[in-house]
Structure 1
Amino acid sequence: MSEKYEELKQKALACGFSHVGDLDADTIQVKSEVRSACAENKCQHYNKNWVCPPGCGTLEECSKQIHKYSKGLIVQTTGELEDSFDIEGMQELGERHKEAFHKFAAVVREEYPGALVLGDGACDNCRECTYPDAPCRFPERQSSAMEAYGMLVSEVCQQNDILYYYGPGTLTYVGCILVE
């Protein structure tokens, strides 16, 4: 790996992630069953913004976009919970991950303008999305969820030799970036 790429990994850690690992784009398989789970709309974001299906593109379009790249990074924020009902702890960890992810995404987009940035969850840049009536107000800040692109996150981690499960009482939020 290049020195610049290794520096990018250090910047990811400096942004607040717990773990950073290499991502080989060839290991990523998009799965229709993951995308189908989005259509069940349990998160209430399906068909409501530009970064969730169907606004983020077809599964085939997402796959083509992913495979324009050869490498990237998996970034994770892991924390301990008091118990499996620690909703407050889950939310706090999610906010920590989101903050680290937004910081890191800005760094990545500055250094790699063509990077594909994929996080977790729906976009929250605007109170109300323009979808589908008008273009996105902030396309330079968009990041779809890995699942929106059909990725089974645990499998992507496993295929790239980075843990997904860090033991009982832990929770991990995951994102990734792909660079040229």
Structure 2
Amino acid sequence: MTIKRQLEDKRRLFGIHEYAFAKTSDLLFSMGTRLLCEGNQCGHYGATWACPPAVGSYNSCVAKCRSYENVCLLSTVTDLKGQYDFRGWHRARIFHEAATAKSARLFRAHYPGALVLSTEGCILCDQCTYPDAPCRYPDQIFPSVEGYGIVVMDLASKTGLSYNNGPETVTYFSFVLF
């Protein structure tokens, strides 16, 4: 059974809202996206193995992504109780990371070297070991899509996925490169 068929069969079970396949040549990279990470709005820059500078230079991230042929873009959508529903945002992120982990296992069963990128930072540990010790879970960590300089909205648009799913929702994206 192909990976596309397996993903379709598991999509609802995993909690995936939408997904699409593309070529990595369709990815748009922007140093501006990477610079947003360096602005540290989320507080993860220089604080986790999943974010810059730990993920490598902008150029090394682009080269790593380009070394793969295909990419699958996955999204999850969670309803919020309002735009300031911070618990809802946190719950949505946990839900998304769980969906990403399930998808990662599916892809890596077929493509062991698949690169999985997800949302800002990492939520596996209460306190990251960066930069003092190696990551405790290197096979479970999903580096930040934006940390790699990828413009998420561009690929979502190219593949027909919804980037915004309504005023009181949060949409998260992950990429699986294989």
Contact 2:3/2:107 (8 A) holds in 1: no
Deviates more, 1:136-145 or 1:126-135: 126-135
1:77 aligns with 2:76: yes
What 5-or-longer segments of structure 2 have no aligned partner? none
CA distance in 2, matches of 1:84, 1:95: 18
The Cα of 1:159 is off from its aligned counterpart by: 2.1
The Cα of 1:128 is off from its aligned counterpart by: 2.7
CA distance in 2, matches of 1:126, 1:86: 23
The Cα of 1:148 is off from its aligned counterpart by: 0.6
SS of the residue 2:98 aligns to: helix
User: What is the TM-score with the length of structure 2 in the denominator?
Assistant: 0.89
Q: Which amino acid aligns with 1:149?
A: Y
Deviates more, 1:3-12 or 1:69-78: 3-12
5 Å matches for 1:17-96?
Answer: 17-96=16-95
SS of the residue 1:140 aligns to: coil
Over the residues paired in the alignment, what is the CA RMSD in angstroms? 1.9
CA deviation string 1:69-122 (max 9, x = no partner): 121211111133333233333232222212211222223223311101001021
CA distance in 2, matches of 1:136, 1:87: 27
Distance 1:126 1:91, change over 3 A: closer
CA deviation string 1:28-55 (max 9, x = no partner): 1221111111111121111122221010
SS of the residue 2:72 aligns to: strand
CA distance in 2, matches of 1:103, 1:126: 18
User: What is the TM-score with the length of structure 1 in the denominator?
Assistant: 0.88
What 5-or-longer segments of structure 1 have no aligned partner? none
Match of 2:107 in 1: 108
CA distance in 2, matches of 1:163, 1:42: 24
